Amino acid sequence: MTDDKKRLIKKDDEKELKNIHSSIKNSVYRDYFHISPLTGLLNDPNGLFFKENKFHIFYQWYPFKGLHGLKHWYEVESFDLINFKNLGLFLKPDKIYKNRGAYSGSAFVENDEVYIVYSGNQKDENENRIPNTVLGKYENGKIIDEKVIITPNENYTDNQRDPRIYKKNGFYYLSLGARDKFDCGCILIYRSKNIEKDWAFFGQLEVKGFKNSAYMWECPDILNVCGKDVLLFSPQGMKSKGEFFNNIYQNGYIVGKLDIENKIFYSESDFIELDRGFDFYAAQSFDNTKNSYLIGWVGLPDTIYPNDKEFSGNLSLVRELKIKNNKLLINPVENISDLRVEKIEFNSLIKNIEPLEIYVENIENSFKIKIYSQEKNGGFIISFDKNKKEFKIDRSKLENEISKEFGHERKISKLDLKSMRIFVDKSTIEIFIDKGEYALTSKVFPKNKEKDLYIEGLDEKNTQIYKLKKSYLDNFSLNM
């Protein structure tokens, strides 16, 4: 009998998966406007690109259960970054060079070609890991012409993954997240004149001005935002520091200047967390877009969530990036307001809430918002203390606990809060503060009696509440 975690999808599984999808589609935790797994588990966003007026989004997918099993890729498309349609299976780990999973990767668009590069996770008969870097081409929802372009670098551990391709002055460059033999996270750089072959190790990226304390760097991504280079990565092993770095693993960025030809990134900022909430990881930017967009996985590795027996994981709202004072401004896309279908009359207590947006401006006082409360009690608590200039989120009063060993509270100090947008979905809450200065993303799993909204310290003069429509189609499509 096949190990549950090693099960490879087959054409004969379509009926079973359709039944699973039918059973979870109406789950109380199925989000309205966040991409969710067709079935099973979703984690890292992968291969994001724009071409012919369509945004293509892929995610790591284990089809059969809400656990980290044999990783496939699934594809979703969008015309506007707020409405999403399921397309189907894109990658499956059916070759020896990826016999233990088609791991994370990215897209590179050049002229009429879209290249997909990813990590093929291979294990030999003795369970030794062989990390391969695989390149293929995107064609009508399928990958063609796959080949291994980079084999393991023996001077590093077997943790070498999450490739991304760049081009400068006639050379293609490829970055890989890695762990060296001294248990330090790093980024490896490869180079070639031909994207399809002849890749050679070019060296390790030096990040000047950054003191590394992580043992592994995952999901490296280098993008240019408003004329500044931004190095994104997900370090594992950073120690918490007061109100910072309190999740099991981190996801953040450094603003600076990339000199790829000399393998140097000159830091002009500290390492800054992309998101200050409880659940955000493995963010990736889109290739071939005019503006800078990013999506993250609303979840974390090595973390158990209350709905994992049904399905697990979802993707964040698409975020548009800008830069101010060497810090990213992170906002939902401008047309997110198109999800509004009805303005809800303000009341301090609103019963039986559906997915909604809470928009607060001209904040002058302390306040407390309880989402998925039991009337005035419990809930996911968002609060601001005007005198202390302290913003907090607290999910300790929800009955379904998550990662309690990493704390129930996150806070931002020294904050002169002026405005805030809160997007409340069935099991996801995203908060955007002061027009992009901070984002906070968290999973919640309210029980049946946790269904209200209670607001204290705000009123109808500065608070607008909108009911939001369902924009993730959640159609069943395998396209095998």
| Catalytic, out of 3, 12, 44, 80 | 44
Token look-up 């019963």 returns: 351
Token look-up 């009337």 returns: 375
Concerning whether 44 is annotated as a catalytic residue, the answer is yes
The phi, psi pair for 351, rounded to 5°, reads -90, 150
Which conformational region is residue 196 in: left (phi greater than 0), alpha (psi within -120 to 50 degrees), or beta? alpha
Token look-up 């809930």 returns: 379
Token look-up 């955000």 returns: 280
CA 297 to CA 317: how far, in whole Å? 10
Label the pairing between strands 264-267 and 206-208.
parallel
User: What are the structure tokens assigned to 95, written together?
Assistant: 């070759």
Bridge partner residues of 55 (DSSP):
50, 78
Bridge partner residues of 243 (DSSP):
none
C-alpha distance across the termini of the chain, in Å? 23
Q: How many CB atoms lie within 10 A of CB 241?
A: 9
Of 97, 88, 84, give the one whose Cα is nearest residue 63.
88
Q: How many CB atoms lie within 10 A of CB 8?
A: 15
- Please give the full DSSP string across 365-423, using - where no structure is assigned: S-EEEEEEEBTTB-SEEEEEETTTTEEEEE-TTSSS---GGG-SEEEE-S-----EEEE
- The H or E element spanning position 104 is strand 102-110
CA 308 to CA 62: how far, in whole Å? 12
CA 296 to CA 408: how far, in whole Å? 21
- The H or E element spanning position 18 is helix 14-24
CA 391 to CA 433: how far, in whole Å? 10
Bridge partner residues of 259 (DSSP):
264
CA 165 to CA 283: how far, in whole Å? 16
3-state class of 339 per DSSP? helix
Of 286, 292, 293, give the one whose Cα is nearest residue 109.
286
CA 164 to CA 149: how far, in whole Å? 13
Is residue 463 within 8 A of residue 358, CB to CB? The reply is yes
List, by residue number, the catalytic residues: 44
